[in-house]
Amino acid sequence: MHTTDPHNELQIGPRKESLLPFRLRIYRLVRKLLLGFIFISIVNGLFSYFFYTPKMYRINRENRDLVIKYYILQDKLRTLEREMEEIAHRDHYVYRPLFSTDSLQIEGVDTPYPDSKYAPLKSDIHASLMINTWKQMDQMARELYARSLSLDELQNLSKNKERLSTAIPALWPIDRSLLRNGIDPFGWRIHPLYHKRIFHKGVDLPGNVGDPVYATGDATVESVDERNSRRGYGRQVLLDHEFGYKTRYAHLSKVLVQPGEKIVRGQLIGELGRSGGVTGPHLHYEVIHQGEVVNPINYFNKNMTPEEYERIMAEIREQNLEKFDEE
């Protein structure tokens, strides 16, 4: 007959009972911690939603300060823009007319940056304010760059003002008393030979074949083309006056200079003709500044009478002869 030992039963029972409560205690403790964490998170979220925490107060204060700083920066930028506009006005209407030079043209300097440059700012709560401010700053940087280059050029011109005064293409390239009919102007037009709309890069000064053509400023002959083509410029001369200026004399009947030759203002360089794509004899005259064609009329003294022009040309020819005699 099998009998149980009460003593052994008493020993085994308490050990099992002590092991099970330990696991339960761990489980209950973990569950309480998780529930407590979830409860605290919910309370904290609700509290943060309805009430400002010290951290939120600090962040909001910093955001308000940042917005105020942006508005102050925008005011300063607007003040600088007005000052830059004043500098640009003096550059265009005071300094450059003083040196008889065109305004400096820098390709792309007025083109705003693409919106992709400011894409990282679009997710910010103050995106509009920040993007507008950065656009102002970028525009200011481009304008500052342009004004800096312009003033550098003016400084160079001021150091060579005496040479500049004779290099600027400021005279008529032909004798105005020999001018026939009207001047074909600079700009877009219907070409009389090709019958299509093209940009006329200079002015056409009609005259008679063989009329003298003069250099409008001191220069070096950059190139000569004596091909008697029935299209294009025909016989032509390109002069380099330095200081960013060049002049072209086209449709000539005769070229009287050679590449590399030094030319003085008023010197005879060719004879008017009808070579190239023309319908009648005339001189096609261009003024090129910083690589861009500009309106030559802006360089002519339109109020000068033919008598005054002839007197000035006579004085220039006399001065040129004196220079050659000295050499």
pLDDT tens-digit readout, 5-56: 554 544 545 555 555 577 777 877 888 888 888 888 887 777 666 666 677 7
What confidence tier does 157 reach under pLDDT thresholds 50, 70, 90?
confident
Predicted TM-score (pTM) above 0.75? no
What confidence tier does 327 reach under pLDDT thresholds 50, 70, 90?
very low
Say which residues have a Cβ less than 8 Å from residue 261's Cβ, sequence separation at least 6: 220, 221
Q: Give per-residue pLDDT as tens, 64-109.
A: 888 899 899 999 999 999 888 888 888 887 778 767 677 777 888 8
Burial of 56 (0-12, 13-18, 19+ CB in 10 A): exposed
- Residue 252 is predicted with a pLDDT of 97
What is the arithmetic mean of pLDDT over 202-210?
A: 94
- Residue 44 is predicted with a pLDDT of 73
The HSE-up count of residue 92 (CA atoms within 13 Å, CB side) is 8
- 194 has pLDDT over 60: yes
Q: Please state, for a pLDDT cut of 70, what percent of the chain lies above it.
A: 81
| Residue 99 vs residues 26, 42, 148, 166, 299: alpha-carbon distances, Å | 93, 76, 17, 11, 12
- 210 has pLDDT over 90: yes
The pLDDT mean for the chain works out to: 82
- Residue 263 is predicted with a pLDDT of 94
Find the Cα–Cα–Cα–Cα dihedral 103, 107, 110, 111, rounded to 10°.
170
Tokens matching residue 201: 């890069």
What is the arithmetic mean of pLDDT over 121-138?
A: 89
Q: Among 30-39, 60-69, 215-224, 296-305, which range has the highest average pLDDT?
A: 215-224
Name the residue with higher pLDDT: 277 or 317. Answer: 277
